[in-house]
Structure 1
Amino acid sequence: MPIRRLLRESVPEATLAAVAEDVADRYGEPSAEFERLEANNWLSVPLVVEDRWFVKVIADQHSLVHAVLTTGRNIGAFSSGTEGFFEHFSTPVEMAQHELAATQAMRELGVNAPEPKEAFEHDGLGVLVLEYLPEFRTLDELPEAEIAAFAPALFENLARMHEAELAHGDLRAENVLVAPDDGEEVLYFIDATRVQAIEDAKAYDLACALASLTPHVDARPAVDAAREHYSTEDILAAREFLDFVNLRPDHDFEAAEVKGEIERAAD
């Protein structure tokens, strides 16, 4: 059975219904209607409860996959000439608690993220409750001209996180949402992970941002947008992670082209 299907079916429907009821009870909602979302997320089963709450249900299987992915990412970091900086969580509820804290930290910095509600344990499962954004598109779903227009905002928000010593750790187009806020479409950041060695993690984040943009935006304007918020030294540090990022299945870009533009910008 493919791993995505295995993980998607890791939590029975009856258990998901019980989790939805638990969430509804916590907020005084008499009904607990829920919808399981189709998502390429290996680390949780995502639900929407009563069209009000976005809920991630995390099982032991998801924690196991997180451990495997963390090991692989740290090996990749070694190949880039640095120590591994990705951290693993030992239980599903720890995974939920960390994402809650990371989301709250982003919002405190003025970075848009869904409002964090709570993280709790339900019969051994980790449950994360966030604000549900009913209208959104992921960054890579936009027309190329719109992606280019959002590039400066992407690096501005990323730099704000980095200045506060906060790294995202899993930045990719699927984790950057575009949603309306007071009539204007803005970027929202989701699925932050936990990292150590913050300087290396910042360079990795920056490499991931360039990798997310350049399938849709030419490398030169993407690098130039990054330079509005990052120094030449920062951009050169990100270059060292591009080959590693390019090995990940969720990134597909021309690393050599991006490296060339970084070298041009550094001259």
Structure 2
Amino acid sequence: MAFRRLLKGQVEWDLLEGVAREVGRRYGQSDLRVEFLDADNWLSTPFVVNGRWFVKVMTDQHSLLHAVLTTGRNLGAFSSGREGFFEHVADPLEMAERELEATRKMRDIGLHVPEPVEAFAHEGLGVLVVEYLPEFRTLSDLTPDEVGRYAPDLFSALARMHAAGLAHGDLRAENVLVARDTLYLIDATSVRADAADQARAYDLACAMAALEPRIGPRRVVAAASEHYPITDLLAAEDFLDFVNIRPDHDFDAASVKGEIEKNATAGA
């Protein structure tokens, strides 16, 4: 557990208090209520202020871990026969600014994301502030029937993002929320602007990986096919084995590949 805390870059309590007070000062809140969420965040320490603002605090340790994970993901992309497309960030503030920028771009094209507020530096920390979505559930919290109902919405959102030249880069069940009967995307990461095709295929592979354990490969590929041509599904197939070795995905890659191949053969 000590090693896990080291990797996750635990923030000292007085620094977290200072960030909460700064958030209150910036938004005219003298009485503060801070709630820490039971979330397994490796790249930030999150909390909620006054039930309105979701705050992510990022340290140098988080930035270092981000660099390590980025290198590993790029190596995984190389192993899939593609050029690495994940971007490094220089420091905690840049981490916060990149995520804020990605969230703003997604919101600007009409995707459902928490409203971006700002990113700022505080005592060497990077701080991201976005709208807090109360009473949300992650994709993992939904029943199989609910997952099946929202699966087309997920692929629709991805297709809209990709058509605008954007990519998520870290799509997994924990980064897909349902609140107010609406599907939201959170925690987009940095990908190279000149590697849109690779990032698009990776996003699609991650979406199928997140959905398959809940609704099965046939329904997953059918839902994806509503918004993507078979050529995109075949490109995503190249990333499925890489996605399957990530600790945050556990799915039947062979069955998903089989459904994609079946669709490709039927459409030939």
Alignment of 1:111-130 (within 5 A): 111-130=111-130
Give the 3-state SS of the residue equivalent to 2:112 in structure 1.
coil
1:254 match: 252
2:207 match: 209
State the alpha-carbon separation in 1 of the partners of residues 241 and 185 from structure 2.
24
User: CA 1:2–1:256 in structure 2 vs 1: closer, same or farther (change >3 Å)?
Assistant: farther
2:264 match: 266
State the alpha-carbon separation in 2 of the partners of residues 265 and 40 from structure 1.
37
State the alpha-carbon separation in 2 of the partners of residues 76 and 190 from structure 1.
23
Q: TM-score, normalised by structure 2?
A: 0.96
1:109 match: 109
Alignment of 1:221-232 (within 5 A): 221-232=219-230
Alignment of 1:54-73 (within 5 A): 54-73=54-73
Amino acid at match of 1:230: Y
- Deviation sequence 1:101-125 (CA, Å, 0-9, x none): 1111111111100000000000110
Q: Is 1:141–2:137 an aligned residue pair?
A: no
State the alpha-carbon separation in 1 of the partners of residues 21 and 8 from structure 2.
20
State the alpha-carbon separation in 2 of the partners of residues 66 and 32 from structure 1.
30
State the alpha-carbon separation in 2 of the partners of residues 124 and 3 from structure 1.
23
1:32 is displaced (CA, Å) by 2.5
User: CA 1:66–1:8 in structure 2 vs 1: closer, same or farther (change >3 Å)?
Assistant: closer
Alignment of 1:1-267 (within 5 A): 1-7=1-7, 10-180=10-180, 185-196=181-192, 197-267=195-265
1:3 is displaced (CA, Å) by 4.0
State the alpha-carbon separation in 2 of the partners of residues 29 and 7 from structure 1.
33
1:8 is displaced (CA, Å) by 5.2
Amino acid at match of 1:243: D
Q: TM-score, normalised by structure 1?
A: 0.96
| Equivalent residue pairs, number | 263
State the alpha-carbon separation in 1 of the partners of residues 91 and 12 from structure 2.
19
Amino acid at match of 1:188: Y
Give the 3-state SS of the residue equivalent to 1:248 in structure 2.
coil
Amino acid at match of 1:50: N
Give the 3-state SS of the residue equivalent to 1:217 in structure 2.
helix
Amino acid at match of 1:172: R
State the alpha-carbon separation in 2 of the partners of residues 109 and 15 from structure 1.
35
1:33 is displaced (CA, Å) by 2.5
State the alpha-carbon separation in 1 of the partners of residues 189 and 227 from structure 2.
22
User: CA 1:152–1:244 in structure 2 vs 1: closer, same or farther (change >3 Å)?
Assistant: same
Amino acid at match of 1:67: A
1:202 is displaced (CA, Å) by 0.2
Q: Which runs of 5+ in 2 are unaligned?
A: none
User: CA 1:256–1:12 in structure 2 vs 1: closer, same or farther (change >3 Å)?
Assistant: same
1:140 is displaced (CA, Å) by 1.4
State the alpha-carbon separation in 2 of the partners of residues 118 and 202 from structure 1.
27
Give the 3-state SS of the residue equivalent to 1:218 in structure 2.
helix
Q: Which runs of 5+ in 1 are unaligned?
A: none
User: CA 1:204–1:108 in structure 2 vs 1: closer, same or farther (change >3 Å)?
Assistant: same
Give the 3-state SS of the residue equivalent to 1:216 in structure 2.
helix
1:37 is displaced (CA, Å) by 2.0
State the alpha-carbon separation in 1 of the partners of residues 108 and 135 from structure 2.
23
State the alpha-carbon separation in 2 of the partners of residues 179 and 3 from structure 1.
34
State the alpha-carbon separation in 2 of the partners of residues 246 and 113 from structure 1.
26
Let me know the Cα RMSD of the aligned residues. 1.0
Q: Structure 1 vs Structure 2: percent identity of aligned residues? A: 63
State the alpha-carbon separation in 2 of the partners of residues 60 and 35 from structure 1.
23
